[in-house]
Copies of this chain bind each other. A is one copy, B any other.
Amino acid sequence: MNLGVVTSGGDSPGMNAAVRAVVRQGVALDARMIGFRQGFQGIIDVDLRELDAQSVSGILDRGGTWLGSGRCPQFTSEQGVRKAIDTLHSLEIEGLVVIGGDGSLKGAHALNRQGLRAVVVPATIDNDIYGTEATIGYDTCLNTILDAVSRIRDTASAHDRLFVLEVMGRDSGELALNSALAGGAEVVAIPETGPPWDVVREMIEHGHQRGKLHILIIVAEGSLSADEMAQYVSRNFPGREVRRSVLGHIQRGGRPSARDCIIASRMGARAVTALVQGGSDVMVGLQGEELVLVSLAEAISRKKEIDLSLLDLVANLAR
């Protein structure tokens, strides 16, 4: 049985651990494993490499993705998908593991609808996929942000400063909200709600009363930019010194955390087992401690909800 594996879309830490698990579990189940380079584009371009157990040695703890990745505009057209299917058929590949985020789900679903069995392993730092409590890379990214928060708090408290830290999250506040909770930020702004002007105001005024002068505000990029938040503060509290920091691309990299290595290893192996057992058109999801198979149609069409009660918790713990 020939199986393919591809990483697609933005990279996230733990993708390599997932690739390793896919390949070695495949080998354990007597499959022949083919890796495609640079995302779906590598399927269209027939840019591939046969992978045995040894070829994935030493990649478990590496950030990024060893197979390469990228967006593939061609793949949004039926023609592009068809071309990929042709390649996969000509290589006698019976199933494909797609490791990635939102775009990967859609691409894999398109392949399935045209008759190629594909199973998704959810990997994105955003943790915004319906049907799974965790995506590969999210935990590492949270720790990266927490490390930055800790550094910024050092210098903020030395100078009694107000800091605005912008983190990733175009449509989802998961990273911002949970890093605010983990790092003890005073305020957090997320795309799911309006800008928290009241909380900002209260924290600054309240902080003066209780002698807590340094304040950390975390904003998700999809909510408002660090610049916008800084301008608001400067305009309303003219004397207040404000510093901004945009965390940027360092959030995508780094050695994967233990949790990301574990779920990547478990999910990668589960995806291969699902394909070998005839599965198709599903994503591997984590629910509690169990892995489940979620239909791609459902995972694509529904939006993961964020726990907004955590906003109150952040405020309560910041006093």
Query: A interface vs B, CB < 8 Å?
Result: 7, 11, 13, 15, 20-21, 24-25, 27-28, 53-54, 57, 60-65, 68-70, 133, 139, 142-148, 150-160, 163, 178-179, 181-184, 210-212, 243-255, 257-259, 261-262, 265-266, 269, 287-289, 307, 310, 313, 316-319
For A254, list chain B residues within 8 Å (CB): 147, 150-151, 154
For the complex, give the distance between the alpha carbons of A24 and B61 in Å: 26
For A160, list chain B residues within 8 Å (CB): 68
B53, B60, B151, B243: which contacts A144 (Cβ < 8 A)?
B151
Min C-beta distance of A281 to chain B, whole Å:
24
Q: Contact at B250–A248, with CB atoms within 8 Å?
A: no
Between-chain CB contacts (< 8 Å), 9 pairs: A13-B154, A21-B317, A142-B259, A151-B250, A151-B251, A183-B261, A245-B249, A245-B250, A269-B313
For A258, list chain B residues within 8 Å (CB): 139, 142-143, 145-146, 178-179, 182
Q: Contact at B249–A163, with CB atoms within 8 Å?
A: yes
- Provided the pairs A150-B61, A212-B57, A313-B269 are in contact, do residues A155 and B259 lie with their beta carbons within 8 angstroms? no
Min C-beta distance of A155 to chain B, whole Å:
4
Q: Contact at A261–B146, with CB atoms within 8 Å?
A: yes
Q: Contact at B24–A316, with CB atoms within 8 Å?
A: yes
Q: Contact at B178–A262, with CB atoms within 8 Å?
A: yes
- Provided the pairs A57-B212, A178-B262 are in contact, do residues A69 and B21 lie with their beta carbons within 8 angstroms? no
Would you list the 6 A-B pairs with minimal beta carbon distance, nearest first? Answer: A151-B253, A63-B154, A64-B154, A154-B253, A142-B258, A182-B261
Q: Contact at A248–B246, with CB atoms within 8 Å?
A: yes
For the complex, give the distance between the alpha carbons of A159 and B72 in Å: 12
Copies of this protein chain in the complex = 4
For A262, list chain B residues within 8 Å (CB): 142, 178, 181-182
Q: Contact at A259–B261, with CB atoms within 8 Å?
A: no
For the complex, give the distance between the alpha carbons of A21 and B307 in Å: 18
Further contacts, 18 of them, CB under 8 A, given A20-B317, A28-B316, A287-B288: A24-B316, A28-B319, A53-B210, A54-B211, A64-B153, A64-B154, A64-B158, A65-B158, A68-B158, A150-B254, A152-B253, A155-B253, A182-B262, A244-B248, A265-B313, A265-B317, A266-B310, A269-B317
Q: Contact at A53–B139, with CB atoms within 8 Å?
A: no
For the complex, give the distance between the alpha carbons of A289 and B183 in Å: 19
- Provided the pairs A181-B265, A183-B261 are in contact, do residues A154 and B252 lie with their beta carbons within 8 angstroms? yes
For A255, list chain B residues within 8 Å (CB): 150
For A245, list chain B residues within 8 Å (CB): 248-250
Q: What residue of chain B has the Cβ atom nearest to residue A286's Cβ? A: B288
Min C-beta distance of A248 to chain B, whole Å:
4
Q: What residue of chain B has the Cβ atom nearest to residue A177's Cβ? A: B262
Q: What residue of chain B has the Cβ atom nearest to residue A20's Cβ? A: B317
Min C-beta distance of A121 to chain B, whole Å:
14
For the complex, give the distance between the alpha carbons of A246 and B227 in Å: 14
Q: Contact at A250–B148, with CB atoms within 8 Å?
A: yes
- Provided the pairs A181-B265, A248-B246 are in contact, do residues A24 and B319 lie with their beta carbons within 8 angstroms? yes
